[in-house]
Structure 1
Amino acid sequence: MIAIILIGLAAGCASALMFVSVVSGAPVSLLLSLLAPLPLMVTALSWGPLSATIGGIAAASAFGAIFGLRFCLAFAVAVALPAWWLGHLALLGRPTAAVETDNSTSPKAENLEWYPTGRILLWIAGFAILSSFASWLVFGKDADAIAAALRSGLTKVLSDREGLSSGDIERLADALVTIFRGLSAMLVVTTLTLNLWLAAKISAMSGRLRRPWPDLKSTALPPMTLVALCATLAFCFAGGAFSIAAQIMTAALFMAYALVGLAAVHTLTLALKSRAFVLSCTYGMLVLLPWTVALMIALGLTDAIFGLRQRYLGGKPPPLPTA
């Protein structure tokens, strides 16, 4: 128990230092702040969610004592809470029907039905929405105050550029305000997913991951997610605070479907001899040309509606028997 507490405290200190490093202004500090949940996630997957809970509470309390309640809540919502809960969900399993009928032995890891990765992805989108709400509310208490604060800052930046009239600057600032709302949520979905994947890889390489590696290419969001996406997309045109909330939720769900689209790419390229090259090009385009994420969103939505992966795998011959 003492080891669990000490490891949790060390992970909490590491996450807190990475989170606060952004105030230094160094270019690498932005990367460190994005990877702030990683130590707590590794702790949750390797030593259990209790250890991550201890580290997260200690780090958040230290933030509150030194910097005030706002920073305490920011760290808790953006780092500690997602790291603990996602680590808990990743280790959540229940015995399969065959094991439940045999009470003589305790179920092993391979005999457990683990929490679906698609539902974990949906939780990640939920945390992205929550953290985006928290960060956007810092600018004001209502939609007008939020938009005015952002518009004022963007106008000052754009006014230094030559060749832009005052009207062009205002229209461009309004467009950027709308875009930034969605980008903040999409960035959080991406970084939380990357942190969880890295944490699982580190735990697996160290031999402490207490579950089999999941089949990530079969990740699928629950069917009702499409209904929620349609509802939030409709509210984007409502105006006011509802519009801001709907834009953030829509962007987070779109990014979740983009990750489903990547899973579909991994599945649909299984039979290709140049699969590694195709996947490398896909990830390279997403990094160098971020607008190509729209193609992944379209593929993820198409797979959710028409079941591309099920149709592709359903047409394959059964695997050959092994000795």
Structure 2
Amino acid sequence: MMVFGLIALIAGAASALMFASISSGVLISLVLYFLAPLPLMVAAIVWGPLCAALGGIIAAIGLGSLLRLSDAAGFMVMVALPSCWLGHLALLGRPVDGDATGTPSTEWYPLGRILLWIAGLAIFIVMGLLLTLGTDADTINQAMRGELLRVMTQIDPAAASELPVVIDAIIVLGTISAAMMMVITLALNLWLAAKVAAASGLLRRPWQDLKTVTLPAATLVGLCVAMAFCFTGGLAGIFARIVAAALMMAYGLTGFAVLHTLTLSLKSRPFWLASAYTLAFIPALLVIAMVALGLADAVFGFRERFLRSRQPPPLPTS
């Protein structure tokens, strides 16, 4: 019990320090801020979600005491809650009938559904942050507009008069980018946490081939509905844009899985993969390409057809 509490304390303190480092204004603190869920996710995957929950509570109490209560609340929503829940899902499994040798096996929670949960958590977090600005679309937009005007005036006072022309577009792109970035952040932290656990030999579930990750079929229906509501106004329109952005980013991540699968037979595979990951420095182009690839695979099943064509022919029966 002593070791359990000590691990929770260390994980919570590390996450809290990384989360609070953003206030320093140093560039490296931005990387630490995005990696703040990592210690708690490692604790959740290796020692269980209860350990991560205890560490998150300790960290929130420390942040509330040293900084502000709003920082503690933000830490709980953006870091502790996703870390505990995703760690729980990663360890979720049920026993299934054994194979021909009678060896018992475990059916683990599918990674595609975990990715869908990541998108759902990103929607919850971004929408929750917006609701702290107001409870209706006009109040939220006005608060964001005022903050953007203040920042832009400090950077270039001469541009303040021209900014209202494009301010609405900046606000829309800002909410969409926040949802997409949250999906990437949670997915990256979970992958890194699993890698750390696997490297230490403490990962309880077998490592799954990430090229096979697919989102549930109903996700595409949800994306179409969200995109239809994007053209409405008010709070519903804001919510729909956040949902569409998060789901599209989830399909963008599956697009990488499609790319890894379709290049298996290419001799120049390292070049194409390196080129694709290099494009990560051009976010707009990368997102468009990977989302298109992920959506195309969801509709046409490129990976399934490709892998089926690579299987050896059946042996003759006579």
TM-score category (smaller protein): over 0.9
1: CA distance between counterparts of 2:82 and 2:160? 44
Q: Give the counterpart of 1:302 among 279, 287, 296.
A: 296
Correspondences of 1:179-258 after superposition (within 5 Å): 179-258=173-252
The residue identity in structure 2 corresponding to 1:221 is: L
State whether structure 2 residue 44 is matched by structure 1 residue 44. yes
Identity %: 52
The residue identity in structure 2 corresponding to 1:35 is: L
Shift in Å, 1:7: 0.4
- Asked if structure 2 preserves the Cα contact closer than 8 Å seen for 1:18 and 1:33, the reply is yes
Deviations 1:220-268 (A, max 9, x none): 1111111111111111111011111111111101100000111100111
Shift in Å, 1:292: 2.3
Q: Which moved more, 1:193-202 or 1:87-96?
A: 87-96
The residue identity in structure 1 corresponding to 2:13 is: C
Deviations 1:103-135 (A, max 9, x none): xx7x4xxx2111111000001001111110122
Change (3 A) 1:164 1:76: closer
Shift in Å, 1:305: 0.8
Deviations 1:277-310 (A, max 9, x none): 2111101102245432111101111100111111
Shift in Å, 1:99: 5.9
State whether structure 2 residue 18 is matched by structure 1 residue 18. yes
Residue 279 (structure 1) aligns with: 273
State whether structure 2 residue 112 is matched by structure 1 residue 118. yes
Residue 83 (structure 1) aligns with: 83
Q: Any stretches of 5+ residues in structure 1 without a counterpart?
A: none
Shift in Å, 1:319: 9.1
Deviations 1:57-98 (A, max 9, x none): 211232334444422221111001111111111111122333
Correspondences of 1:104-183 after superposition (within 5 Å): 107=104, 111-158=105-152, 161=156, 166=161, 168-183=162-177
- Asked if structure 2 preserves the Cα contact closer than 8 Å seen for 1:12 and 1:55, the reply is yes
Root-mean-square deviation (Å):
2.3
Structure 2 SS opposite 1:250: helix
1: CA distance between counterparts of 2:69 and 2:15? 18
Structure 2 SS opposite 1:98: coil
The residue identity in structure 1 corresponding to 2:171 is: V
Structure 1 SS opposite 2:265: coil
- Asked if structure 2 preserves the Cα contact closer than 8 Å seen for 1:74 and 1:134, the reply is no
2: CA distance between counterparts of 1:163 and 1:113? 61
Shift in Å, 1:158: 4.3
Structure 1 SS opposite 2:310: coil
The residue identity in structure 1 corresponding to 2:133 is: F
- Asked if structure 1 preserves the Cα contact closer than 8 Å seen for 2:152 and 2:160, the reply is no
Shift in Å, 1:178: 0.5
Count residues with an aligned counterpart.
314
Shift in Å, 1:152: 2.2
1: CA distance between counterparts of 2:100 and 2:187? 32
2: CA distance between counterparts of 1:23 and 1:163? 28
Please give the TM-score of this superposition, normalised by the length of structure 1: 0.91
Correspondences of 1:27-42 after superposition (within 5 Å): 27-42=27-42
The residue identity in structure 2 corresponding to 1:87 is: G
Q: Any stretches of 5+ residues in structure 2 without a counterpart?
A: none
1: CA distance between counterparts of 2:210 and 2:91? 15
Deviations 1:121-157 (A, max 9, x none): 0010011111101222232232111111212232344
1: CA distance between counterparts of 2:131 and 2:9? 30
Please give the TM-score of this superposition, normalised by the length of structure 2: 0.92
- Asked if structure 2 preserves the Cα contact closer than 8 Å seen for 1:264 and 1:309, the reply is yes
1: CA distance between counterparts of 2:114 and 2:42? 16
